Structure 1
Amino acid sequence: MLFGTTPRLPEPDEALKGRPEPAFTVPERHTVLGTPLRGPYPEGSEVADFAMGCFWGAERVFWQTEGVYTTLVGYQGGYSPNPTYEEVCSGLTGHTEAVRVVYDPAVVSYGELLKLFWESHDPTQGFRQGNDRGTQYRSAIHTHSAGQQQAAEASREAYQSVLDKAGLGTITTEILPAEDRPFYFAEGYHQQYLDKNPAGYCGIGGTGVSCPVGIASAG
C-alpha cells in the first residue's frame, strides 16, 4: 500500500476481504525436482518458509540445494485469505512473496537453510529488495516450531553482528510463527518460474557478507 511515496502494511480492517477458496489451481509436481507440490511428503521431512524479495529467484536458490525435496511459492504474512497476485501487488492484503521449502533434515539442516537465506538477499532494505519496491518484497521467516523460532532469532542476532562490523544497516526481517499467518499457493505460472523462463527476471542479490556457519540449529 502506498501512502505518498512510502509503502506501509495495511491494518487488518483495511485489508481486502479475500475469498474462502483459491481462485486458481496449481500444478501437481515440481517442474525441476519432479516431486509433489502439495504432498504427501516423505516421512521425516520438515518445512521452512522464507520471504526474500521476488519469489522467482528465491525459489531457485532453494531448489538447487541438496537435501531439498520440493519448493513452492506463495503469499504469506498477510490478512486476506486466498489472495491473487494482483491483489498482493496492490499492497492491500499484507502478504509478502514467500517460498516454502520441504527438506530432509538429515541432509540439510535448518541452520544451513538460514545461512542461505541471509546470504541470498539484503535483509536491511525494509519494503523493497533491489529494484523491487513494495510491502510484498519485505524479508521474513515464518517458523514451524519453537526450535525454528529460536534458531531464526539467534541467526538474525548473529548476522546483525557481522553486518554491523561491515558497516551495513539494521535487519528488518520479520520472524513470526507460520500458524499465525497461513501460506497460500501462488498461481501456477509462478511455480518454478525460472525453470520455465530461464532468461527471466531474478532480482536476488545478497550483501556480500557471509553469515557465520553453524549459527543456530532447530533442535
Structure 2
Amino acid sequence: MLFHRRETRLPSPEEALKGRPEPEFALPDRHTVLGNPLAGPYPEGLAVADFGLGCFWGAERKFWQTPGVWTTLVGYQGGHTPNPAYEEVCSGLTGHTEAVRVVFDPSAVSYETLLKLFWESHDPTQGFRQGNDTGTQYRSAVYTHSPAQQAEAEASRTAYQSVLRASGYGDITTEILPAGPFYAAEPHHQQYLDKNPAGYCGIGGTGVSCPVGVAKADG
C-alpha cells in the first residue's frame, strides 16, 4: 500500500500530505442523470449544501433522485490536503471525508428536507466508519454555507439525537462546520452508480425517522 492507513484519528495540518496546487484532471461538464453542469457558478436562486455520509457513490444517488435537486457532485472536504487524490484520502493522511455537494432549488426542496434525507440515509453514531467501510474518510459531516444552514443543521442534529437515543442508539458523531474547500473527486467517481448500476453501495440508515418541522432556523 502506498500510504499508511490511519483509521482512528485525523491528522494534524503538519502531518497531512502536501497535495498539489491544481487538480490533475478535468471535471466532466454535465451530470449524467440530471444533465446540468457539475461545476459552478450556478444559476441565480439555487443554493448549495454539502454532506458526508459514508461512501459517496451511494450517497450521491440518494440526492440526485430527490426532486428539486439541480445537480450533484462528489468530492473531498473537511481536511487539510489541497486537491487530494482518492488514494490519498483513503490513506487517512489528508483529513478529508468523502462528501456530496448538492445544488438545489430552495423553492422546490427545502434544506430541512435534505437534512432529513441525510440523517435517515446513514448511521451518524458510528464515528470513523459506515457499516463495513472503515476510515476517517467515511465520517459523518454537514458543511454549511450560511449561518441559517448552520443553525438548522445543529437543530436537526439535536432533534434526531433524541429519537435515536429513544431507539437505543448512542451519541451522534456528525461534525457540523462551516464549509471549507470542496475538492471534486476524479471523473470516474462522479455519478458512479449511474455509470455502474450494479456497483457497490454501502449506504444504509438506522431505520429511525428524523422529525420534520423541528429544525427551523431564523434567517
Shorter chain as denominator, the TM-score bin is: over 0.9
User: Residue 92 in 1 paired to residue 93 in 2?
Assistant: yes
User: Residue 214 in 1 paired to residue 203 in 2?
Assistant: no
- Aligned-partner Cα distance in 2 for 1:182–1:96: 12
- Aligned-partner Cα distance in 1 for 2:22–2:162: 43
3-state secondary structure, aligned to 1:215: coil
- Aligned-partner Cα distance in 2 for 1:7–1:198: 32
- Aligned-partner Cα distance in 1 for 2:63–2:28: 19
3-state secondary structure, aligned to 2:50: strand
Post-superposition shift, 1:11?
Answer: 0.8
Post-superposition shift, 1:214?
Answer: 1.7
3-state secondary structure, aligned to 1:13: coil
Which sits farther off after the overlay, 208-217 or 11-20?
A: 208-217
3-state secondary structure, aligned to 1:11: coil
- The aligned counterpart of 1:205 is 204
- The aligned counterpart of 2:105 is 104
- The aligned counterpart of 1:160 is 161
- The aligned counterpart of 1:188 is 187
- Aligned-partner Cα distance in 2 for 1:57–1:129: 12
Kept after mapping to 1: 8 A contact 2:139/2:174: yes
Which sits farther off after the overlay, 34-43 or 88-97?
A: 34-43
Post-superposition shift, 1:217?
Answer: 3.3
Compute the TM-score of the two structures, normalised by the length of structure 1.
0.96
Please give the residue correspondences for 1:103-182 in structure 2 after superposition, counting only pairs within 5 Å. Answer: 103-178=104-179, 181-182=180-181
Which sits farther off after the overlay, 31-40 or 53-62?
A: 31-40
- The aligned counterpart of 1:39 is 40
- Aligned-partner Cα distance in 1 for 2:5–2:195: 32
RMSD: 1.1
- The aligned counterpart of 1:77 is 78
Kept after mapping to 2: 8 A contact 1:45/1:105: yes
Q: Which segments of structure 1 move beyond 3 Å, counting only runs of 4 or more? A: none
Post-superposition shift, 1:210?
Answer: 0.1
Letter in 1 for 2:143: H
- Aligned-partner Cα distance in 2 for 1:38–1:24: 13
Which sits farther off after the overlay, 56-65 or 17-26?
A: 17-26
- Aligned-partner Cα distance in 2 for 1:155–1:28: 34
What are structure 2's unaligned runs of at least 5 residues? none
Q: What is the aligned length?
A: 215
Q: Give deviations 1:38-60, integer Å, cap 9, x for gaps.
A: 13422110000000000000000
Post-superposition shift, 1:153?
Answer: 0.3
Which sits farther off after the overlay, 64-73 or 20-29?
A: 20-29
- Aligned-partner Cα distance in 1 for 2:189–2:148: 30
Post-superposition shift, 1:172?
Answer: 0.2
Letter in 1 for 2:15: E
Kept after mapping to 2: 8 A contact 1:12/1:79: yes
Compute the TM-score of the two structures, normalised by the length of structure 2.
0.96
- Aligned-partner Cα distance in 1 for 2:131–2:158: 23
Post-superposition shift, 1:2?
Answer: 4.3
